[in-house]
Chain A
């Protein structure tokens, strides 16, 4: 159980019915890409394959991937051996490639009431609000993972200066569409939620629709670039979003 600094990737049992594959211990853009490439490989390998027998669910996270199985149908050693075989196919941490990402342009209204922490964040960065907006919207971000709430997206990596700590006191609620920042990442909130991150803007995009398959628009590995829009434009787009029109523009 107590491990000396393990070599990655490694497989460990989780509970009595899951295996956790760790590709690293700290968030790193390439380690995340390895998780996404491995996830994509499993998804394809599991189609009509005995490899998938007994597997209930595969969930990628920032630098790890959880494989849940039914322990009454398949035992842990068998699952571990199957996953190890896939890990042995190549060096997953060497130049990982995220396959078939979609590229999205997504409107954001920065600052003001939509982004009450923009002033503080630009102060922490030591730049003007306009420059902070330029840096945030000028970054080509990857959807590193989804979590916390349905459709809630974690994107990265922002420039190194954006290594902003989380808040000490949790904000009870930010609205759906809130654009949050901390630790070189941006969270795109898909519903009203509490957060320990700073809010710098808001998008009219709702990244979750329970009636769609898949239920999200921006998915793992997709790339996103934000487009600053005025408050007036935001409101117009939000009305359109309410009518079911697509807000995220797919450019590739």
Chain B
């Protein structure tokens, strides 16, 4: 459904260019999997919280998600604060470089440009107050394959005018966050899956003893893995009867290749699933850069829950990590040559 803006004539972001995977996403729509509707939502929930903390928005306000390639937009209406998070991209406002993972002020007519992701995969752009669109089944997340959610059910494209909520809280103080560790993770923790017993002990060992990479065959549904471990095929092949699928399930198709099922996964699956990535590491596996090796580490369910508890505790305290940028970045021409905060901004 198309969401009318709260206030006609209020501020909009006009899209000049957009990469192929720009969409509005929030925390997703749990509760509809029984109707065949996948949960969806942002690929990186930590980044969703970050970008909203930077702007003082509600923590799950819908954001623009960009997959490896960014977009450029111009603002019409009132000046607004914007912020970025997730995979670091080259960011400019009217061609002036801006630090990533920070909030910044944009005047009407200025052009905000997000380039290519330098590392990792999913990047986020948000406006103070959030975007104005009507939720579908309790969520603003775009499910473009099914054509609902987001802006008219579609990916964001050049020419779109994205309405900003009129209730924007205007903060004049730009702020920044440190890059979190999960974006450079080389270990992904798992618990065995409900069908692990259809895999031989050798295959289960191979999952734990070998390095894996996310291949180029990846999207919001899942990430196919590459490895030198050889085939991970199950002994019995197709189970034939499908179960409901969990986010993070690692399924192995008949060709012996493992795929991690992610936010836009199919709701049911018939391929055997050897293991499940723990909830605390879902952002890390989703953001994993293609071709960078990592290992799986087996943990107990209790360890998985402890890890999640710690992560949620840190996430709820993100606002304590905000660092005020005392001057507008554009007033500091040589800003990017400073090692501003712990190497967050690489000198270029």
Interface residues of A (CB under 8 A from B): 1-3, 12-18, 20, 25-27, 56-66, 68, 71-72, 75-76, 145-152, 183, 190-191, 208, 210-211, 214-216, 219-220
A25-B241 contact, Cβ under 8 Å, with A66-B246, A72-B312, A211-B136: yes
B34 at interface by CB-CB < 8 Å: yes
| Residues of A contacting B247 in the complex (Cβ-Cβ under 8 angstroms) | 15
A18-B246 contact, Cβ under 8 Å, with A57-B30, A211-B136: yes
| Residues of A contacting B148 in the complex (Cβ-Cβ under 8 angstroms) | 210
| Residues of B contacting A145 in the complex (Cβ-Cβ under 8 angstroms) | 268
| Residues of A contacting B32 in the complex (Cβ-Cβ under 8 angstroms) | 150, 215
A20-B243 contact, Cβ under 8 Å, with A145-B268, A150-B36, A210-B137: yes
Inter-chain pairs besides A57-B33, A59-B33, A147-B244, 18 sampled, C-beta below 8 Å:
A14-B193, A15-B191, A15-B248, A59-B267, A60-B244, A62-B242, A64-B243, A64-B244, A66-B246, A71-B308, A72-B308, A76-B301, A149-B146, A150-B37, A150-B143, A210-B149, A216-B36, A220-B34
Across the interface, do B36 and A208 meet the contact criterion of CB distance under 8 Å? Answer: yes
Across the interface, do A152 and B305 meet the contact criterion of CB distance under 8 Å? Answer: no
Across the interface, do B246 and A14 meet the contact criterion of CB distance under 8 Å? Answer: yes
A56-B268 contact, Cβ under 8 Å, with A16-B278, A75-B305, A215-B137: no
With a 10 A CB-CB cut-off, give which of B36, B37, B241, B312 has the most chain A CB atoms: B36
Give A5 to B143 CA distance when docked, in angstroms. 39
| Residues of B contacting A146 in the complex (Cβ-Cβ under 8 angstroms) | 34-36
Across the interface, do A14 and B194 meet the contact criterion of CB distance under 8 Å? Answer: yes
Across the interface, do B249 and A15 meet the contact criterion of CB distance under 8 Å? Answer: yes
Across the interface, do B194 and A20 meet the contact criterion of CB distance under 8 Å? Answer: yes
Q: What are 15 A-to-B residue pairs whose CB atoms are below 8 Å?
A: A16-B278, A16-B304, A16-B308, A17-B308, A20-B194, A26-B240, A56-B31, A58-B34, A64-B244, A66-B244, A71-B304, A72-B309, A146-B36, A148-B267, A190-B36
A15-B240 contact, Cβ under 8 Å, with A2-B197, A66-B246: no
Across the interface, do B146 and A216 meet the contact criterion of CB distance under 8 Å? Answer: no
B208 at interface by CB-CB < 8 Å: no
Across the interface, do A15 and B136 meet the contact criterion of CB distance under 8 Å? Answer: no
Interface of A is mostly: loop
| Residues of A contacting B136 in the complex (Cβ-Cβ under 8 angstroms) | 210-211
Contact of B268 among A148, A208, A210, A214 (CB under 8 A): A148
B276 at interface by CB-CB < 8 Å: yes
Across the interface, do A150 and B34 meet the contact criterion of CB distance under 8 Å? Answer: no
Give A147 to B148 CA distance when docked, in angstroms. 17
Count of B interface residues, CB-CB < 8 Å: 43
With a 10 A CB-CB cut-off, give which of B1, B196, B241, B267 has the most chain A CB atoms: B241
- In the complex, chain B residues 155-206 whose Cβ is within 8 Å of any chain A Cβ: 191-194, 196-197
| Residues of B contacting A25 in the complex (Cβ-Cβ under 8 angstroms) | 241
Across the interface, do A147 and B30 meet the contact criterion of CB distance under 8 Å? Answer: no
Across the interface, do A147 and B241 meet the contact criterion of CB distance under 8 Å? Answer: no
Across the interface, do A148 and B36 meet the contact criterion of CB distance under 8 Å? Answer: yes
| Residues of B contacting A14 in the complex (Cβ-Cβ under 8 angstroms) | 193-194, 246, 276
With a 10 A CB-CB cut-off, give which of B143, B194, B197, B312 has the most chain A CB atoms: B194
Across the interface, do A16 and B305 meet the contact criterion of CB distance under 8 Å? Answer: yes
Across the interface, do A26 and B241 meet the contact criterion of CB distance under 8 Å? Answer: yes
A211-B241 contact, Cβ under 8 Å, with A75-B305, A148-B268: no
Across the interface, do B246 and A61 meet the contact criterion of CB distance under 8 Å? Answer: no
Give A59 to B31 CA distance when docked, in angstroms. 8
B72 at interface by CB-CB < 8 Å: no
Tell me the smallest distance from the CB of B237 to a CB of chain A, in Å.
12
Give A92 to B279 CA distance when docked, in angstroms. 32
A61-B35 contact, Cβ under 8 Å, with A14-B276, A26-B241: no
B266 at interface by CB-CB < 8 Å: yes
Across the interface, do A148 and B301 meet the contact criterion of CB distance under 8 Å? Answer: no
Which chain A residue shows the least CB distance to B1?
A211
Which chain A residue shows the least CB distance to B266?
A148
Give A64 to B243 CA distance when docked, in angstroms. 6
Which chain A residue shows the least CB distance to B299?
A16
Tell me the smallest distance from the CB of A146 to a CB of chain B, in Å.
5
Tell me the smallest distance from the CB of B322 to a CB of chain A, in Å.
24
Across the interface, do A147 and B242 meet the contact criterion of CB distance under 8 Å? Answer: yes
